[in-house]
Amino acid sequence: MSLPPDLDVTRRREIPTIRRAAALCAVLLLALLMNATRVQIFESEPYGDNPANHRQAIDRYGRPRGDIMVDGRSVTGSRDTGGIFRYERTYTDGPLYAPVTGFASQRYGTTLLENTQDPVLTGTDPTLSLFPLWNDLVHKHPPGGRVVTTLNGAAQRAAYRYLAGRTGAVAAIEPSTGRILALVSAPSYDPGQLSGVSASTARAWARLTGDAAQPMLNRAIRQTYPPGSTFKVVTAAAALDSGLVWNPDDPTPSPDPYLLPGTTTRLTNETDGCTNASLRYAFAWSCNTVFAKLGVAVGLRTMAATAEGFGFNDPRLRVPFAVAPSTFDRKLDQAQLAMSSIGQFDTRATPLQMAMVAAAVAGGGSVQAPYLVERTTTSSGATVSMTGPRTRYRAMSPMTAALLRQMMTDVVQGGTGRNAAIPGAVVGGKTGTAQHGVGNSGMPYAWFISWAQPDGAPEPAVAVAVVVEDAAAERGEISGGGDAAPIARAVMQAVLASRPGYGPNSRPGSGADPRTPRGSNSFSPTAR
């Protein structure tokens, strides 16, 4: 059946119009698809990071955060606020563990373990799921995982308790593995105060960041100090390993006072018997003149190489968060080298670095890479990743390490470190009193580094470093042995007491109260 002529003409005119409309719709659809592709793929990051876009934050805080574990229990948690950013971070014993956990704040971001382990804790780490690509496609993530730390809770509490009211830090390491057993900084703060988005969170931030005491500064890993006489362990290692000193009991050609090379400055000692003293005596009684002269005799290149063998000048150390580099200058004249060799001038170290120095002696000359995360797991406890021991530095020969262990034991048994002695264990230590400030006008820092080995054990169980910035004594009475050694003793006792078979009389805090700078075991204030 044919159409009337007028309708047939109309139909022929409409067909091109329909085709053009269809083509236009196809072009518009293609443009829409191209724009969607551009937005979702090529420009997704700028849109996602735009401060006005709260979708990521809403998703991030829309589920509980995974937990950080110490001794099998959580020291973190999540609180349901019912708000748009639903879950806020909570902390158990927040000030105690703040130098390890850091904070997770909806307003100010994350720090320390909360930062480096964020993918695990938020559930976005691909290793937490069997089907990570599918989860990304549907924008669904498994529950946050757990971060199991290496901390010994008793050691952490002992360090925090006995450092209370002072400014300083404690770091403790297991020498054979590098596991960090304690990491404490004082004063501390409660990271839970920074978790939310309320006005109180902003007030807490302003108060903490404006506090002259710097409670948010992690002094154990981010603050460097002149290590004072504790650095003499490094100088002694250089002298023994280089062959400059063969027998630690032989006299050394060391005048008292010692005229610093190229200057009119005379370096003196705060104890007697340092003239031509043997290395063993000079180490036990901390003779500045002996070690300054030894450093010059060893030479800058060897001294710097030995220091770097312990971990100095390493900007890449992470535990897993970054550690401030400890430094030994490679450009020194002889007078500066002399002072650097006794832990003064430009030599600076974190407490963690000095714990590594003690651990090198205890560990036979090698330094294990320090680490804080034992393993990560899913929310149900299935292991996702593990960290194992790894040798990072070779500080000295095993023979030199054995000699230094004897010398550090002498310090505790009859030298300046007697306040660190522990019944039922062999303890080695080195005291230090570090001058600082313009013209050494600052209150000296009290240092003590040590290690402890239970009687009958095959190897030392713990190495510790303690620094006290504001030692509670008159300036002339401040000493590493009087102010820092009792704190180290408490931490070492806590670690030993947690090991099977250790005696019941070695409870943390037994013996003299470390808050009393000089008790019945005190000795001459010249013993530094």
Domain boundary assignment for the chain: 228-378+386-497
Q: Which amino acid is at 345?
A: F
At residue 525, the pLDDT reads: 30
Q: How far apart are CA 463 and CA 169, in angstroms?
A: 14
Active-site residue 229, yes or no?
Answer: yes
Element (H, E) at 171: strand 168-173
Per the CB < 8 A criterion, the answer to whether 431 and 479 are in contact is: yes
Averaged pLDDT in 10-residue chunks for the chain of 528 residues? 58 70 86 79 63 59 90 96 87 98 95 97 85 53 91 98 95 98 98 94 97 97 96 98 96 96 94 95 95 98 98 97 98 97 96 98 97 96 93 96 97 92 97 67 83 95 94 47 91 94 53 36 34
Q: How far apart are CA 367 and CA 357, in angstroms?
A: 8
Q: How far apart are CA 460 and CA 466, in angstroms?
A: 18
Rounded to 5 degrees, what are φ and ψ at 65?
-85, 145
CA 181 to chain centre: 11
Q: Which of 229, 340, 450, 479 is catalytic?
A: 229
Query: What CATH architecture does domain 228-378+386-497 belong to?
Result: 3-Layer(aba) Sandwich (3.40)
At residue 437, the pLDDT reads: 47
Left if phi > 0, otherwise alpha if psi is -120 to 50, otherwise beta: which for 200?
A: alpha
Q: How far apart are CA 463 and CA 313, in angstroms?
A: 21
At residue 46, the pLDDT reads: 66
Query: Hey, is 165 helix, strand or coil?
Result: coil
At residue 86, the pLDDT reads: 87
Q: How far apart are CA 100 and CA 452, in angstroms?
A: 23
At residue 439, the pLDDT reads: 47
Q: How far apart are CA 446 and CA 528, in angstroms?
A: 9
Per the CB < 8 A criterion, the answer to whether 445 and 433 are in contact is: yes
Per the CB < 8 A criterion, the answer to whether 474 and 439 are in contact is: no
At residue 38, the pLDDT reads: 77
Per the CB < 8 A criterion, the answer to whether 339 and 260 are in contact is: yes
| Burial state string for 34-65 with b = 16 or more CB within 10 A and e = fewer than 16 | eeeeeeeeeeeeeeeeeeeeeeeeeebbebbb
Q: Would strands 146-149 and 68-70 be described as parallel, antiparallel, or unpaired?
A: parallel
- CA nearest neighbour of 513 among 419, 442, 449: 419
Residues 6+ apart with CB under 8 A from 255: 275, 276, 289, 293
Residue 355 sits at the vertex; the CA angle it makes with 252 and 398, to the nearest 5 degrees, is 55
Rounded to 5 degrees, what are φ and ψ at 525?
-65, -10
